[in-house]
């Protein structure tokens, strides 16, 4: 077993340099690496390129890094919940690359899996296809998309062990497994960190080989964006 | 004119037994309320869930369980959770049988625009481009006209498009229409109290009317 443990989020993110490309797990605010984001917010790092499906909300998630002007570019599929994001985009402070969600997931998956490019039907005939190679297969047109990789990735899991094996919970899995594999250095924060042997090997979602650093996070807020309930009958 | 709920209710009649269905945000989400109990269908959420259940009661709210609209949800018996890459593999791979989504504009050849209004805020396309490029069966829920009264069923989309030649059926507040394989909106049903003439007047694209057009019943 290779012990990947680090003390805390501050130690885990300490060597992320300015200008780095950072991959982040999460969908909306679900399954985001809250502790890593809070730790990065406290550093002097800036000019980050962040690859994440969403950009958080004004005062939580990646929104915190936007407020501190740490982000040069966002690569995302949907950014509709963040007014500070909108302001920075319209004023030209922030570059944004919007790409289809499945293409984003697959580009990152391809990055972690060593596949430099692939063909997808998503975006054919749209703005997304501009300047990209297309090719026909069995009478249908597909678009070539390239892999996405990061200098670092930050992911959040439910449980993990010292070796970096991860288990996710509910829909908090989302982009986390792909981000883990596509980051040169993957930092995993988990709600519960256990010794090797505690996790059932058949149930592990992300093998520890993809994870370089792991720590048990604290004070998870797990903010809900759209609390929607059924009234009891 | 149909209410949003009636649009959802009419779309639900197009659902078939044993389908896997992806419901978009807005009116499409309401379709789930009108799928008959006797149909066995599975709802897919592109953030990584097959088997979406009802919204939770207050005591069952779980921040780790949301749908693609970021609403809190529950899971059903036999549901399965997975990554975003797996989710879009099942979408692109053609395993999802029916996609229901909203639109700002649809053209008579089945192009759809629903992700961007240039000059205004761009929120992003989310999973819509992957869904419309991959699904064999796409139903659109939309208003027939904009607030200013201009038709949203057009010869050609004016907004940046999300996908080409992909829409099969459309339910608006005025009508149920199908896209003809050679182009054109084929009028199938009228909303209660709405005339063919009114629909013709409010459809900029080519409207195809064959014989008597029945009125929808609710």
The per-residue pLDDT for A141 is 97
In 3D space, the residue among A150, A102, A129 whose CA is nearest the CA of residue B127 turns out to be A102
Q: Who among A158, A177, A230 is closest to B83 (CB)?
A: A177
Q: Do B124 and A27 touch (CB under 8 A)?
A: no
Q: Do B65 and A171 touch (CB under 8 A)?
A: yes
DSSP code at position A113: H
B213 lies in some domain: no
DSSP code at position B54: P
- As for how many domains chain B has, the answer is 1
Q: According to DSSP H, which parts of chain A are helical?
A: 9-13, 34-41, 62-67, 83-90, 101-113, 176-182
Chain B: residue whose CA lies nearest to A87: B121
Distance between CA atoms of B84 and A108, rounded to whole angstroms?
Answer: 10
Partners of B81 in the beta sheet? B49
B118, B135 contact by CB (below 8 A): no
In 3D space, the residue among B158, B165, B154, B100 whose CA is nearest the CA of residue B127 turns out to be B100
Listed by number, the residues of chain A in 63-102 with a beta carbon closer than 8 Å to a beta carbon of chain B are: 76-81, 86, 89, 96, 98, 100-102
Longest CA pairwise span in chain B (Å): 54
The per-residue pLDDT for B121 is 66
Q: Do A122 and B130 touch (CB under 8 A)?
A: yes
Tell me if chain B has a CB within 8 Å of the CB of A207.
no
Distance between CA atoms of A169 and A218, rounded to whole angstroms?
Answer: 17
Average pLDDT, chain A: 96
Partners of A193 in the beta sheet? A160
Question: pLDDT by residue (tens digit) across A53-104?
Answer: 999 999 999 999 999 999 999 999 999 778 888 889 888 899 999 999 999 9
- Residue to test with chain A: of B23, B114, B126, most A Cβ within 10 A: B126
Q: Would you kindly state where each structural domain of chain A is located, as residue ranges?
A: 18-98+149-216
Chain A: residue whose CA lies nearest to B113: A126
B56, A230 contact by CB (below 8 A): yes
B216 lies in some domain: no
The per-residue pLDDT for A4 is 98
Q: Tokens for A86? A: 């909108």
Q: What is the CA radius of gyration of chain B?
A: 17
Tell me if chain B has a CB within 8 Å of the CB of A216.
no
B55, B74 contact by CB (below 8 A): yes
Residues in A closer than 8 angstroms to B160, CB to CB, are: 126-127
Indicate the SS3 state at residue A152: strand
Q: Which of B38, B46, B86, B201 is catalytic?
A: B46
Distance between CA atoms of A170 and A176, rounded to whole angstroms?
Answer: 12
Residues in B closer than 8 angstroms to A103, CB to CB, are: 129-130
CATH code, B203 = 3.40.1080.10
Question: pLDDT by residue (tens digit) across A2-36?
Answer: 999 999 999 999 999 999 999 999 999 999 999 99
As a three-state string, the secondary structure of A72-84 is EEEEECCCCCCHH
Site of tokens 């190679």 = A133
Q: Do A230 and B123 touch (CB under 8 A)?
A: no
The per-residue pLDDT for B118 is 85
The per-residue pLDDT for A210 is 98
Q: Do A101 and B127 touch (CB under 8 A)?
A: yes
- Counting Cβ atoms within 10 Å, is residue B79 exposed (0-12), middle (13-18) or buried (19+)? middle
B58 has catalytic annotation: no
- Residues with Cβ < 8 Å from A114, sequence gap 6 or more? none
pLDDT in tens, chain B (218 residues): 999 999 999 999 999 999 999 999 889 999 999 999 999 999 999 999 999 999 999 999 999 999 999 999 999 999 999 999 999 999 999 999 999 999 999 999 999 999 998 877 678 999 999 999 998 899 999 999 999 999 999 999 999 999 999 999 999 999 999 999 999 999 999 999 999 999 999 999 999 999 999 999 99
Cα B52 to chain centroid distance, Å, stands at: 17
A164, A210 contact by CB (below 8 A): yes
Q: Who among B48, B55, B122 is closest to A230 (CB)?
A: B55
The per-residue pLDDT for A211 is 98
B217 lies in some domain: no
Chain A: residue whose CA lies nearest to B69: A226
- Counting Cβ atoms within 10 Å, is residue A43 exposed (0-12), middle (13-18) or buried (19+)? middle
Q: Do B130 and A98 touch (CB under 8 A)?
A: no
The per-residue pLDDT for A162 is 98
Q: Confirm or reject CATH 3.60.20.40 for domain A18-98+149-216, answering yes or no.
A: no
The per-residue pLDDT for A232 is 65
Q: How far apart are the first and last CA of chain A?
A: 52
Q: Do A171 and B54 touch (CB under 8 A)?
A: no
> Residue B87: what are its φ and ψ, rounded to 5°?
-60, -45
Partners of A142 in the beta sheet? A135
B218 lies in some domain: no
- Counting Cβ atoms within 10 Å, is residue A186 exposed (0-12), middle (13-18) or buried (19+)? buried
Give residue B85's domain range.
Answer: 4-208
Distance between CA atoms of B142 and B170, rounded to whole angstroms?
Answer: 8
Q: Who among A171, A178, A232 is closest to B64 (CB)?
A: A171
pLDDT level of residue A161 (50, 70, 90 thresholds): very high
Indicate the SS3 state at residue A133: coil
A99, A77 contact by CB (below 8 A): yes
Distance between CA atoms of A6 and B20, rounded to whole angstroms?
Answer: 43
In 3D space, the residue among A45, A99, A23, A81 whose CA is nearest the CA of residue A223 turns out to be A81
pLDDT level of residue A233 (50, 70, 90 thresholds): low
Chain A: residue whose CA lies nearest to B91: A102
Q: Do A228 and B124 touch (CB under 8 A)?
A: no
| Axis-axis angle for helices B84-92, A101-113 (nearest 10) | 110
Percent above pLDDT 90 for chain B:
94
B200 lies in some domain: yes
Q: Do B57 and A232 touch (CB under 8 A)?
A: yes
Across residues A114-142, what is the average pLDDT? 97
B63 lies in some domain: yes
Tell me if chain B has a CB within 8 Å of the CB of A177.
yes
Residues in B closer than 8 angstroms to A121, CB to CB, are: 92, 133-134
């Amino acid at each position: 077993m290779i012990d990947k443990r680090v003390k805390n989020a501050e130690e885990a993110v300490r060597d992320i340099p300015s200008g780095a490309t950072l991959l982040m797990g999460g969908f909306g605010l679900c399954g985001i690496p809250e502790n890593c984001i809070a730790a990065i917010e406290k550093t002097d790092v800036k000019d980050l390129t962040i690859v994440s499906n969403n950009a958080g909300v004004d005062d939580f998630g990646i929104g915190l890094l936007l407020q501190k002007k740490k982000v040069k570019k966002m690569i995302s599929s949907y950014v509709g919940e963040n007014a500070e994001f909108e302001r920075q985009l319209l004023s030209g402070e922030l570059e944004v690359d919007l790409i289809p969600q499945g293409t984003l997931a697959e580009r990152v998956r391809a990055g972690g899996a060593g596949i430099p490019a692939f063909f997808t039907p998503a975006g054919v005939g749209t703005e997304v296809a501009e300047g990209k190679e297309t090719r026909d297969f069995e009478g249908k047109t597909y678009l070539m998309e390239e892999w996405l990789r990061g200098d670092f990735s930050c992911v959040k899991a439910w449980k993990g062990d010292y070796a970096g094996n991860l288990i996710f919970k509910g829909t908090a899995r989302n982009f986390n497994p792909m981000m883990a594999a596509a980051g040169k250095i993957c930092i995993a924060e988990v709600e519960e960190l256990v010794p090797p042997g505690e996790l059932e090997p058949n149930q592990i979602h992300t093998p520890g080989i993809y994870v370089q650093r792991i720590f048990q996070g604290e004070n998870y807020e797990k903010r809900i964006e759209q609390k929607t309930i059924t009234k009891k009958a | 004119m149909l209410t949003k709920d009636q649009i959802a209710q009419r779309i639900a009649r197009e659902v078939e037994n044993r389908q896997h269905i992806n419901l978009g945000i807005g009116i499409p989400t309401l379709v789930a309320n009108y799928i008959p109990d006797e149909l066995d269908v599975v709802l897919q959420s592109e953030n990584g869930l097959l088997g979406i259940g009802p919204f939770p009661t207050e005591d069952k709210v779980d921040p780790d369980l949301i749908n693609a609209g970021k609403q809190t949800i529950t899971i059903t018996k036999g549901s399965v959770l997975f990554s975003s890459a797996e989710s879009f593999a099942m979408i692109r791979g053609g395993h999802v049988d029916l996609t229901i989504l909203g639109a700002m504009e649809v053209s008579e050849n089945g192009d759809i625009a629903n992700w961007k209004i240039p000059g205004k805020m761009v929120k992003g396309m989310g999973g819509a481009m992957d869904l419309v490029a991959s699904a064999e069966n796409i139903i659109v829920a939309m208003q027939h006209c904009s607030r200013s009264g201009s038709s949203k069923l057009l010869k050609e989309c004016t907004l940046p498009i999300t996908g080409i030649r992909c829409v099969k059926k459309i339910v608006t507040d005025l009508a149920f229409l199908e896209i003809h394989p050679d182009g054109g909106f084929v009028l199938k049903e009228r909303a209660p109290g709405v005339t063919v003439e009114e629909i013709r007047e409010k459809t900029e694209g080519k409207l195809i009317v064959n014989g008597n057009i029945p009125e929808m019943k609710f």
